[in-house]
Chains A and B, each alone.
Chain A
């Protein structure tokens, strides 16, 4: 078994297959969009091409990692002469481990802040969440949040903090609220009394879709039980009252709250002379942590790094009286791995070169 796993031919075959995946993914993203192509070819365990399953990017990388790990079972490499090769392989494994950490644990999203306002959360680019907020208390709100993987058709949602149950009747990747022409009946509540969510074709770029969800609430024993609809960007929140507790239901981009907040002091845009084309953007921000503020400047190619997050200047919105900055927030646990592994691989190559140098000179003389 070990003999098979350490076979260098596996490495060669998987590297060639990875090249094929990179080529196919690059071509496919033109038609299916970047995010969908990334998911299909690179973040998947199995990729289906027509009716045939092939190893996806994630499985291929695991095979390469395992193959490199089992390389160390070769007894012949544990010699001083092969030390450079061993170091090189350690660097390669570290690079793959870093990639794995990034793929599994890294998060990225947007932080949108108006001038003069602050934000302490990052909104995911792609994933949604259903937040049930108990707003009864005067000083704080209690959140029970169901992440997108739970929002599957037919899935029942319940939690000991909630005095009712929910069932996902329909999850829409892209929908449009449309006015009802007919009497909806007594089961439909809230916005759904006047509207229905119409399924729309899914746009290839995720940010052009408006996801929505149709939910059935039960177990309250009151007329609150019924079918509710929510969609992204809904201006009027859906509220329900259960046993004198007031709940708000929000269907929104998945939020990650940070232990610090960022206040936008000023957003600056410099235009190319005589045009409306932006030359550079920058955000002067106040980084507030434990009540202490520090002024920072975020501009193109000069991100702010704090608390494991990196905030890049991504975009902006212009209002009548003030501007809004859009920061791309990335948390990547594997951020340092490429640097460290590259250095290790360089050391390995140099070591190997130094060890082999005398042999090269000998061959030249002979």
Chain B
């Protein structure tokens, strides 16, 4: 009797462990913003706000896409820096995660979150303080100039991908472009 009870308990436990219900359905009330956006003028819908900037002279507009808000080429001594401006919701994944993602793309080791401050500089632009980082892989000769520009509920990301020489030559213009971003 005791044998059977124990074996039954064990079987029930194993059967319960093997559930395969991976489709869920539910209804929720439509999500309503809990408060007006603090960083944008409250009398204007965010969709109506247009981002504006001052393009450096050496940059040429390149073919855009639905993902990029703007796209530029920076020709320099046979190389071309590809500059993109995109917008992501929230913090876009955060500073540490993005910097480490870019480092990984360049074949560099990620850095621990507490040392991220050594990799970045904070610059004051027209949209407020933003993060700038210059990531180089001397072995491959590739580099990224990246800026993370928070603005209310969205974050703008500006990135230039090029060789190390072009990145060094374009750093001043890159920063001036990032600092010039503002809403019309």
- Enumerate chain A interface residues (CB-CB to B < 8 A): 2, 66, 69-70, 72-73, 100, 104, 116-118, 135, 138-150, 159, 161, 176-177, 179, 191, 193-195, 200-201, 203, 205, 207-208, 210, 233, 235-236, 257, 263, 276, 317, 319-322, 324
Q: Report whether A66 and B10 are in contact in the complex, using a CB–CB cutoff of 8 Å.
A: yes
Q: Inside 8 A of B30's CB, which chain A residues have their CB?
A: 135, 138-141
Chain B contact residues, CB within 8 Å of chain A: 2-3, 6, 10, 13, 16-17, 20, 22-31, 34-35, 38-39, 65-68, 86-89, 91-94, 97, 100-101, 104-105, 110, 117, 128-129, 150-152, 154
Contact of A117 among B35, B66, B152 (CB under 8 A): B35
A324 to B91, CA, bound (A): 10
Interface residues of B, dominant DSSP? mixed
Measured in the bound complex, the distance between the Cα atoms of B174 and A78 in whole Å is 81
Which among B20, B39, B68, B117 is the interface contact of A320 at CB below 8 angstroms? B39
Are A320 and B129 interface neighbours, CB within 8 A? Answer: yes
B67 touching A179, Cβ below 8 Å:
yes
B161 to chain A, nearest CB (A): 11
A191 CA to B86 CA in the complex, in Å? 14
**Cross-chain pair count, CB within 8 angstroms:** 120
Are B26 and A147 in contact (CB-based, < 8 A)? Answer: no
Interface contact A145-B24, CB-CB below 8 Å? yes
A144 and B25 within 8 A (CB): yes
Interface SS majority for chain A: mixed
Known pairs A118-B34, A141-B29, A177-B67 / 19 extra A-B pairs, C-beta < 8 Å: A70-B6, A100-B17, A116-B34, A117-B34, A140-B28, A142-B27, A146-B22, A179-B67, A191-B66, A195-B65, A200-B104, A200-B105, A203-B110, A233-B88, A235-B86, A235-B88, A235-B154, A236-B66, A320-B39
* Contact indicator A179/B65 (Cβ below 8 Å): yes
Which of B88, B92, B97 contacts A207, CB < 8 Å? B97
Q: Are A195 and B28 in contact (CB under 8 A)?
A: no
Q: Is the CB of B25 within 8 A of A233?
A: no
The 9 residue pairs across chains A and B that have the minimum distance between CB atoms: A147-B22, A194-B65, A117-B34, A145-B24, A150-B22, A235-B88, A235-B89, A140-B27, A321-B38
Contact status B13-A100, CB under 8 Å: yes
Contact B66 A194 (CB under 8 A): yes
Give A161 to B129 CA distance when docked, in angstroms. Answer: 47
A142–B34 contact, CB under 8 A? no
Residue of A nearest to B87 (CB): A235
Q: Is the CB of A150 within 8 A of B23?
A: yes
A149–B24 alpha-carbon span in the complex (Å): 13
Chain A hits for B3, CB < 8 A: 2, 73
Whether A142 contacts B65 in the complex (CB less than 8 A), given A208-B97, A235-B89, A320-B150, comes out as: no
Query: Which residue of the partner chain, among B17, B25, B27, B150, contacts A319 with CB atoms under 8 Å?
Result: B150
